[in-house]
Amino acid sequence: MPSITTRARSSSVQDEDEEEQGLKSVVVRKKSLEALRESLEVDGSDNSDSDEGSKVITQKKPQPNVLRNGIGAYLKVTLTELFLVSPWKSLLLLFTPLTIMSDKLQWGSGVTFVLGVIALVPWGDRISWVTEDFVKYTNETAGGLFLASVGNLTEIVFCINCLQGDLLRVVQVSMLGSVLSNLLLVLGCAFLTGGTKWEEQSFNKTAAITNSGLLLIAVLSICLPSILDATHTGNGTPASAVSVNLHNLTLPSVPGAPSWLSGTGSLDEETSGGDAPLWLSRFIAIVLVFLYCLLIGFQFITHPHLFEDEEGDESEGILGMYGGIFWMMVITCFIWILSEYVVNQLKTASVDLHMPMLFLSGIVIPIVGNAVEHASAVCFAMHNKMEIALGVAVGSAVQISIFVIPLTVLGGWAMDKEMTLNFHPFETVILLMATIGVSFLVSDGRSHWLKGAMLVSAYVMIAAAFYAHAEPKSMS
């Protein structure tokens, strides 16, 4: 009996040990399965993150209904964000009625011109804000395309008004002045102010070199008509006396407006014709617009990582899609009205203010027009966000060079105006040297305060040269 009892105990102990080992193996297997599941979940989250990163171009955070709190709350928030969010912007909006009063009460062309130019500043800032809010209700690609196209709406409206008033030289000089202001003054101040707080700042060298290359292409397009006109080696002749032979096919010219192939040339000092044929400027303008479309695809579709901000804007939309469209139309109307006042008073204002028209168009108007971009670039540089600061300054210059300038040529073609890319030697050489200098300074992807001082000094000297330059009276 004892042996049987002992044998039974030993068997029970063995069974308990086997059961305990089995439980341990189950626990170990369960832990291993849990570890495997966690690793799979981590891998899946990484994959989902990478998928979301790859789809960042097409998907955006859904926006809430802007009318969820009622129409009264919507109007209160909208009007506050548009007109009362910043004291200085609200103050500048008062210059709009003052401009209208100055024109109606005849305070003088100089006063109306100054008031109108200052009044354009807050409206330009508001159209940018409304556009940025509007694109939150679209996908990344469509929003980027829209933002890039509407970003220079103020300059486009101003140029259209100048074209309608036959102020072709004002269009040329104001666009060139806007490019110089962004490249030298805005970027220089950003480098200078950021360099006073940070010993050295860095930015994306690839994006900077890409923008520099685009600027050089734009300068080349402006140089070609100017060189032909300056050396008198073009084949442009009056439209009434030319016929073009292409592969034994003669196309006689039609009296009247210049055609694509048989146009007159540059903005000559004495006549409307010149040695650089007008069709060349129009052809180059079409090529530049095509290049701009390729840039948009490069920036928002194929290589967005080169141009994206370090911190994405995750804030909710305020205006709503239809509200954004409405306010864009309203603000555009105000910009159009104020631009008309500025353009209409420009000639007499240069006399009242004792300033050359070239200086007002190429220096004063671009500085005031770029005031918001100037301030934002400086603020970003002070916070060491040089990617954004460089995009504000150089990016705006690229858009004007390869989009707005050729658009004015094509717009002049549609309006039967002899708008060309012949900017004349003085302006062309200045733009060429400024572009080469900026390209050299940003090529290393680093900035400091001395680079900013160099750019600002260059702009001051160019401004003095614009003031000293005598524009022939017969130029429009």
Is 323 or 12 the better-scoring residue by pLDDT?
Answer: 323
Q: How far apart are CA 442 and CA 446, in angstroms?
A: 7
Q: How far apart are CA 163 and CA 408, in angstroms?
A: 8
Q: Identify the CA nearest to 388 among candidates 470, 302, 312.
A: 312
**What is the model's pLDDT at position 141?**
56
CA atoms within 13 Å, Cβ hemisphere of 224: 16
- Given pLDDT bands bounded at 50, 70 and 90, which one contains residue 40? very low
- Segment 255-275 shows an average pLDDT of 40
| Helical axes 95-105 vs 321-352, angle rounded to 10° | 40
Tokens of 113: 């011109």
**What is the model's pLDDT at position 451?**
93
The backbone torsions φ and ψ at residue 128, rounded to the nearest 5 degrees and listed phi first, read: -70, -40
Is 239 or 293 the better-scoring residue by pLDDT?
Answer: 293
Q: Do 392 and 380 touch, CB atoms closer than 8 A?
A: yes
Q: Which amino acid is at 11?
A: S
Residue whose tokens read 């993150």: 49
In a 3-state reduction of DSSP, which class is residue 446?
A: strand
Tokens of 172: 């040329």
- Given pLDDT bands bounded at 50, 70 and 90, which one contains residue 314? low
- Segment 24-40 shows an average pLDDT of 47
Burial 93-127 (b: 16+ CB within 10 A, else e): bebbebbbebbeeeebbbbbbbbbbbbbbbbbbbb
Q: How far apart are CA 115 and CA 122, in angstroms?
A: 12
- The CA-atom distances, in angstroms, between 376 and each of 193, 389, 472 are 12, 8, 37
**What is the model's pLDDT at position 217?**
93
Q: Identify the CA nearest to 364 among candidates 438, 466, 434.
A: 466
Q: Identify the CA nearest to 312 among candidates 79, 59, 17.
A: 59
**What is the model's pLDDT at position 429?**
92
Per residue in 81-119, pLDDT tens?
888 777 777 888 899 999 999 988 888 888 999 999 888
Per residue in 144-202, pLDDT tens?
556 656 667 778 888 888 898 888 888 999 999 999 999 999 999 999 999 888 888 98
Helix (H), strand (E) at residue 406: helix 405-414
Tokens of 52: 């979301």
Per residue in 332-353, pLDDT tens?
888 888 888 888 888 888 888 8
- Given pLDDT bands bounded at 50, 70 and 90, which one contains residue 457? very high
User: Count of CB atoms within 10 A of residue 434's CB?
Assistant: 22
In a 3-state reduction of DSSP, which class is residue 243?
A: strand
- The CA-atom distances, in angstroms, between 383 and each of 190, 240, 378 are 11, 60, 9
**What is the model's pLDDT at position 63?**
59
- Segment 281-290 shows an average pLDDT of 93
**What is the model's pLDDT at position 234?**
65
- Given pLDDT bands bounded at 50, 70 and 90, which one contains residue 1? very low
Q: How far apart are CA 442 and CA 391, in angstroms?
A: 12
Q: Name the least confident of 116-125, 314-323, 433-442, 463-472.
A: 314-323
Q: How far apart are CA 113 and CA 158, in angstroms?
A: 13
Q: Identify the CA nearest to 361 among candidates 90, 226, 165.
A: 165
pLDDT of 418 over the 70 cut = yes
- The CA-atom distances, in angstroms, between 150 and each of 4, 146, 199, 229, 354 are 97, 6, 36, 33, 34
Terminal CA-CA length for the chain:
128
Q: Identify the CA nearest to 344 among candidates 121, 187, 158.
A: 158
Q: Do 243 and 251 touch, CB atoms closer than 8 A?
A: yes
**What is the model's pLDDT at position 231?**
78
Q: What is the DSSP string of 414-432?
A: HTT----S--HHHHHHHHH
Q: Name the least confident of 119-133, 208-222, 405-419.
A: 119-133
**What is the model's pLDDT at position 247?**
41
Is 279 or 375 the better-scoring residue by pLDDT?
Answer: 279
Is 318 or 45 the better-scoring residue by pLDDT?
Answer: 318
- Segment 411-433 shows an average pLDDT of 90
pLDDT of 57 over the 50 cut = no
Over its C-alpha atoms, the chain yields an Rg (Å, rounded) of 31
Q: How far apart are CA 140 and CA 135, in angstroms?
A: 8
**What is the model's pLDDT at position 140?**
56
Report the mean per-residue pLDDT for the chain. 75
